[in-house]
């Protein structure tokens, strides 16, 4: 039995969706086009999301403020509802900074970055780049 219950994990994910809990990524999620993105949450938790081609794919790991944890295998094997959890595309962008399948977006205004030269840190469109 995992240390974090499915109910706790789902409540945490819902609080992120609703904006009650904010996330701060260790690095820009768009810099990790395919791989794990780890976030510190304002409630003291840490969560790692697998980003697949700039698409929110699944929860790879979560650790509570008191050190309890769960990993992908436990979620996959023991948590049928959490295993199927997937935020809407705009929630993935607004809350996790993951822009959507094969997309890159300006971190300030959200505009698609069509110019390949802008698809790198700091992920700013020409307009926002000029303002900074």
Distances (CA, A) of 23 to 16, 91, 109, 115: 8, 12, 18, 28
For the chain, give every domain's residue range.
6-101, 104-132
pLDDT tens readout for residues 26-84: 999 999 999 999 999 999 999 999 999 999 999 999 999 999 999 999 999 999 999 99
Please check whether residue 25 is in contact with residue 17, taking contact to mean a CB–CB distance below 8 angstroms: no
Angstrom distance (rounded) from CA 44 to CA 40: 7
* Tokens describing residue 6: 């499915």
Q: What is the pLDDT of residue 2?
A: 54
- β partners of residue 46: 40, 63
For Cα atoms 78, 62, 10, give the angle at the middle one, nearest 5 degrees. 60
Say if residue 1's pLDDT is above 80. no
């Amino acid at each position: 039995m995992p240390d974090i219950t499915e109910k706790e994990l789902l409540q945490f994910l819902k609080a992120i969706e609703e904006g009650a809990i904010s996330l701060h990524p260790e690095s820009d999620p768009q810099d990790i086009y395919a791989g794990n993105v780890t976030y510190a949450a304002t409630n003291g938790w840490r969560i790692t999301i697998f980003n697949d081609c700039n698409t929110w794919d699944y929860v790879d790991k979560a650790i509570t403020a008191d050190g309890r944890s769960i990993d992908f295998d436990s979620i996959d094997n023991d948590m049928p509802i959490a295993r199927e959890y997937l935020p809407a595309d705009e929630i993935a962008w607004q809350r996790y900074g993951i822009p959507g399948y094969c997309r890159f977006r300006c971190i300030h205004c959200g505009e698609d970055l069509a110019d390949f030269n802008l698809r790198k840190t700091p992920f700013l469109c020409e307009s926002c780049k000029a303002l900074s």
